[in-house]
Chains A and B, each alone.
Chain A
Amino acid sequence: MKTAVIVFPGSNCDRDAADALERVTGTPAEMVWHEDTTLPDGLDLVMVPGGFSYGDYLRSGAIAARSPIMRDVVKKAGDGTPVLGVCNGFQILIETGLLPGALMRNAGLRFVCERTPLSVETTNSMFTRAYTDQHEVLFPVAHHDGNYFADEETLARLEGDGRVAFRYLANPNGSIHDIAGITNEAGNVLGMMPHPERAVDETHGGTHGRGVFESLLGGQK
């Protein structure tokens, strides 16, 4: 399975993402610099990692969304390449328009870091199909701007089309409908605030995150 991780100035989960990908897929991920204009050919996954791209200046994810490489990410996503955005990566995908809605400051106004239980809302997705026997997972969250919001119409579409991939069981940030992760209409783009890459190894205190990457790997067989 061929994967790439985008690196922006201020990304800080890029190494974690690459490690998790290599651990699960057995193949090292390619690191792609934000100023590059094209992604490598034949990718099975592009991961937009967490962190504070451009220091969260202007608005979380806003500047990164306008970087040269993201133009190609948007294009390849349109062609069906799977794209996974985690935390700041989710914020960036929303800023590019690949995913609908907005991520606002947490309702409690403070940064929140905790291991939080999620329900897997659909196994009918290339990112979650490995969770057939597991409906509840525990992932760490760590963010200041994770309060998901969308208008009624968008929410109805997301819910109606089964595009809510993960839902908080103990909402840490005030997200509407307890939404923790959503997919695009075609189902090949997933954005989520919780960090599956921080739950792939026993020393992380759990390995529930592997399912996201195993789901993608399953598609390769």
Chain B
Amino acid sequence: MTETHYAPGIDEDVALDHVTAEEYDIILSELGRAPNLVELGIFSVMWSEHCSYKSSRLHLAKFPTSGERVVYGPGENAGVVDIGDNQVAVFKMESHNHPSFIEPYQGSATGVGGILRDVFTMGARPVALMNALRFGDPSHPKTRQLVSGVAAGIGGYGNCVGVPTVGGETNFDKGYNGNILVNAMAVGLADRDKIFTAAAREVGYPVLYVGAKTGRDGIHGATMASAEFGEGSEEKRPTVQVGDPFTEKKLIEACLELMSEDAISSIQDMGAAGLTSSSVEMASSGGVGIELDLDHVPQRETAMTAYEMMLSESQERMLMIIKPGREHVAERVFKKWDLDVATIGKTTDTGRLVLRHKGETVCDLPLDPIGEKAPKYDRPHFPAEARASIDASRLKAPADLGQTLKSLIGSPDMASKKWIWSQYDRHVMADTVTSSEDPADAAIVRVHGSNKALAITTDCTPRYCAADPFEGGKQAVAEAWRNLTAVGADPIAITDCLNFGNPERPEIMGQFVGCVEGMAAACGALSFPVVSGNVSLYNETDGKAIPPTPAVGAVGLIPDVSVRAGFGGMKEGQVLLCVGETQGQLGASLYLRHIEGDDDGAPPGVDLEVEKRNGDFVRGQIRSGRARIVHDISDGGLACAAAEMAIASGVGVKLAHEGQVELFAWAFGEDQARYLIAADGADAEAILKAAKSADIPAMAVGLVGGDQLTLNAQHAVSLSELKRAHEDWMPALMANAQDERAA
């Protein structure tokens, strides 16, 4: 490239700091001139992986996104599904991985803030928060500090805004030593006929800026989140945003109050890439142009440049298109809540983004190339090498399965995470029915003022995805569906958070494509569409990628909250039934990881047809009232599921197995599509009879009673020992950790 390719003040280094050489050439040909620095900054954030989904869009199109209940699928700020009675559930999950690794408290806090805004932007009152967290090896020197900071950050934000954090999952794996994952999900409720969207369709309408002032924090946050880490990633701290949940709480109330008046034409939160992405997305999705005068943007710091204002990711800000003449209504509401409000521009018919600052035009770009025509790559991808399944007969059976059970139930993957969730307010809003503290496979939140409830879960088994991306992708969706089923809910739809390494590496892109295709297959077979989601790539440090982690967040509906199931409350004398077939599949199982010390083998396959049949049967039994105590079988297999039920109920279980499958493989194999049900004799018999006539595999596998968990009477471990192993692991780990908040 020659000098003439650059606008004054820009050289090749500056240009290539923002975009690739190929992308710079596209800009030149689209504009027919060199972009100035503001324009270059805008292209760079809008074309970042984080905003443009340039590596993933092609494959995301494979997801089924429609269904009977789907009102809005991907493309809006959050997915919207119908839950009857003119009500909708609005939800989305999003990653805040990179910032949380650099600055765990603020990184995770602003992750919560951002996902809440996606939900209330659409007119929904947020009613529940969830999270999916992955940390490195528990013994890694950074792990405890990151756990402590992330838990405090999620709690610090969610507790203050007053939205209950009702559930989630936490894994530890050395694969996340250099890149932790913080995925936050928010769920809201709205009336179906009062949903707000982002598209600005009218010309000449005022553009209103509301919320907090713009500062210099988070500049280029989206770009940072679209790159790998190397040595010195801590130096990226200035790109991390700083959250203020108090302002967010006021913003929620003010927005919902204004939404109840006839003033807003469309609305968009300022998330990643701040004022740039919000203005570009509103204008380009509605097919209009937009003109902003940056002098009117409320500013927290002096002498901010146009570049800084457009790229700042200061939190708790919204952009609105207001119906002409209704500005005073917005002003009244936002003043009442002590929030900034300013008219900063108007929509136009030019199809261009025009920015003025101090009397000069500092940006004049056609909108199409920035948004709709952003680069879209078909990155090369190799499928992962298929692994052979594990033959249990080649493994040595442990001498004492009681001790094996104890070590699994107290392993980092299965141990109680109370140390984390006890820092989250799970009860505010007074509609929480079950949360992390309750023995149930999904969180349950009552729909305010009704007898209905939403069931919510987050799921993913990264070790399966690493072993076989396609089966792992299927399993993540199937397990979410199973968890909703196990509490008695009708599964409705999912959101996702696809966390992977560097997509420019074909083996990583292969993991991505495999997982997406597996998820798409499961979503299709289970009528469980994807309605929103987020992709987080470049989760790598020094060339080492995280395990593929396509986290699934799922929502279901319980028509009558009094008809639901949990896995506590078992009583002496009850029968324990297993629905689904047990072959003892140990590939990529927790047993293999913690007892044999490797992650080898093919993961358990997911037969989606069987999954659906078994799940529909179990849900039917819950609805009939026969099954009140139900637990899905997942990590650690049947014996671990039974142990969790026993710990929650304070009563022992005697498991009995005969047949060809080795006892330890039967106990710890992770075959899919299975559930345990505890019921009184007559109900158990009725369930077995119903299963037989529906041709569903089901059998009695144990009796409830005593104060031990026994296997075929040869192996035993006391309930109190199991409970201690389960509950003591995490407090012991964190005993000496620094408290981020207090520091």
Contacts and interface: CB of A to CB of B under 8 A. Distances in A.
B160 interface: yes
Contact of B155 (A15, A105, A111): A111
Contacts of B431: 203
A20 B428 CA distance: 13
Interface residues of A, number: 34
A12 B161 contact: yes
B561 A57 contact: no
B36 interface: no
B429 A52 contact: no
The interface size bin for chain B is 35 or more
Interface string A42-69: 0000000011101111000000000000
A52 B246 contact: yes
A150 interface: no
A215 B423 CA distance: 31
Contact of A19 (B161, B244, B430): B430
A204 B427 contact: yes
B212 to A, nearest CB: 12
Given A10-B246, A203-B433, A198 B152 contact: no
A16 B428 contact: yes
B155 A9 contact: no
B587 to A, nearest CB: 38
Contact of A112 (B245, B423, B739): B423
A201 B430 contact: yes
A142 B739 contact: no
A211 interface: no
Contact of B430 (A105, A115, A144, A197): A197
Given A110-B423, A140-B427, A142-B159, A203 B246 contact: no
A205 B432 CA distance: 9
Interface string A9-26: 110110110011000000
Nearest to A140: B427
Contacts of B425: 111, 113, 142
A178 to B, nearest CB: 19
Contacts of A72: none
Interface string B425-457: 111111111000110000000100000000000
Contacts of A142: 159, 425-428
Contact of B160 (A55, A115, A197): A55
Contacts of A195: 427
Interface in B139-174: 152, 155-156, 159-162
Interface in B388-440: 421-433, 437-438
Contacts of A56: 160, 246
B18 to A, nearest CB: 36
Interface in A173-221: 195, 197-198, 200-201, 203-205
A110 to B, nearest CB: 5
A113 B435 CA distance: 12
Given A19-B430, A114-B422, A203-B561, A52 B249 contact: yes
B715 interface: no
Given A56-B160, A142-B159, A203-B446, A113 B337 contact: no
A52 B160 contact: yes
A99 to B, nearest CB: 23
A140 B422 CA distance: 11
A24 to B, nearest CB: 13
B165 to A, nearest CB: 9
A109 interface: yes
B338 interface: yes
20 contacts: A10-B246, A10-B250, A13-B162, A52-B162, A54-B246, A55-B244, A55-B246, A57-B246, A105-B742, A110-B741, A111-B152, A111-B424, A113-B421, A113-B426, A142-B159, A195-B427, A198-B427, A200-B430, A204-B427, A204-B430
Q: Lowest 4 CB-CB distances: which A-B pairs, in order?
A: A12-B162, A55-B246, A16-B430, A142-B425
Interface of A: 9-10, 12-13, 15-16, 19-20, 50-52, 54-57, 105, 109-115, 140, 142, 144, 195, 197-198, 200-201, 203-205
Given A12-B249, A109-B739, A204-B430, 9 more contacts: A12-B428, A15-B429, A16-B428, A19-B430, A20-B430, A52-B160, A110-B152, A110-B422, A110-B739
